[in-house]
Structure 1
Amino acid sequence: MSRLNVPPPEEVPADSQRILDSVGAQFGFVPNMFATLASNPTVLEVVMTLQGALSRVLDARTRHTIALAVSQANGCGYCLAMHTHVATKFGGMSGEDVELGRAGSSVDPKRAAVARFAQRVVESRGQVSDAELAAVRGAGYTDPQILAIVTVAVQVQLTNFINNLNQTDIDIPAVSAAGTPG
């Protein structure tokens, strides 16, 4: 059961309601994470603005892979379920690639390097080794892209921390320990 209060619909601040309406149109429902964030319009706006801005960096599958790798590293069941749902339903990723993303890999060698690097960024709190930085560069990523990888990883970590603290009720198909839907 979630530990933070979700405002009832009639108590959602107007600024939050506008954002929730947009989220609902995108997903077909308002996921519990966003409903929880609605109690603080500024926090909801920050999360949504950050997600929107970061949708312009890297390709969608790479961002999904980072989200899966980071959410696994942080043990966030809610985010694993959400990112699995989004990656498969909207991102065209296979169940195998989702599972590999969680494990810090991918069917694509370049994305596998990103997944490993993103996990190391989180696990080391940004203090990656020269060899780890060289590996992601060796996979073909430029320094501006590496900045984007780190920023996406931190954005995912933000929602991981919120959902881990809240113990957000999973309102989308949960994932098994192996990372497959259900």
Structure 2
Amino acid sequence: MSRLNTPAVNDVPAGARQILDKVGAQLGFVPNMFKTIASNPSALEAVTTLQATMSRVLDAKTRHSIALAVSQANDCSYCLAIHTYTSSTFGGMSSEDIDLARAGSSVDPKRAAAARFAQQVVDSNGQVSDADLAAVRGAGYTDSEILAIVTVAVQALLTNFINNVNQTDIDIPALDSSATPG
């Protein structure tokens, strides 16, 4: 059961309601995470603005792969469920590629390097090695794209932390924990 207050729709300030309406229009439903964050309209605006901004960097499958890799590294069941849903429904990713992304890999070698690097960022608290940087550069990423990978990873960390603190009730199909890769 969620541990933080999730306000009733009528108790959400108008500006936050507009954001929730937009999220609902994009996804077809308003996930519990966003309903909970709506109790703090500034936090809701920060999360959704960051997500909208980062949707313009890297390709969608790479962003999804990073989010899945980071969410797996942080053991965030809610984020794994929502990222699996969005990766398959909107990102066109196969079940195989979703499972590989959770393990920090991909069917695409360049995308695998991004997912692996994002996991290294998380696992090392940002203290990646020269070898980690060389590997992601060797896969073809520029320094500008490496900054994008880090920012997408931090975006995933933000929602991982919110959902892990809250223990957000999963309102989308839960993953089979026995299928966890790695």
Q: TM-score range by the shorter chain?
A: over 0.9
SS of 2:175's partner is coil
How many residue pairs end up in the alignment?
180
C-alpha contact (below 8 Å) 1:20/1:30 kept by paired residues: yes
How far apart are the structure 2 equivalents of 1:130 and 1:10? 51
Tell me what 2:14 maps to: 14
Tell me what 2:160 maps to: 160
SS of 2:164's partner is helix
**What are the Cα deviations for residues 17-45 of structure 1, in whole angstroms up to 9, with x where unaligned?**
00001011111111000000111110000
How far apart are the structure 2 equivalents of 1:46 and 1:170? 22
Q: Which moved more, 1:169-178 or 1:122-131?
A: 169-178
SS of 2:69's partner is helix
How far apart are the structure 2 equivalents of 1:119 and 1:21? 32
SS of 1:126's partner is coil
Q: Post-superposition shift, 1:179?
A: 4.8
Describe how 1:39-54 pairs up with structure 2 within 5 A. 39-54=39-54
TM value normalised by structure 2: 0.97
How far apart are the structure 2 equivalents of 1:74 and 1:54? 20
Q: Post-superposition shift, 1:51?
A: 0.2
| 1:170 and 2:162 matched | no
Tell me what 1:132 maps to: 132
Q: Post-superposition shift, 1:176?
A: 1.6
**What are the Cα deviations for residues 81-124 of structure 1, in whole angstroms up to 9, with x where unaligned?**
00000000000000000000000100000011111100000010
SS of 2:51's partner is helix
Unmatched tracts of structure 2, length 5 or more: none
| 1:74 and 2:74 matched | yes
Change (3 A) 1:179 1:98: farther
**What are the Cα deviations for residues 120-168 of structure 1, in whole angstroms up to 9, with x where unaligned?**
0001010011111100000000000000000000010000000000000
**Sequence identity of aligned pairs in percent?**
73
TM value normalised by structure 1: 0.97
How far apart are the structure 2 equivalents of 1:176 and 1:65? 19
Describe how 1:105-124 pairs up with structure 2 within 5 A. 105-124=105-124
C-alpha contact (below 8 Å) 1:98/1:179 kept by paired residues: no
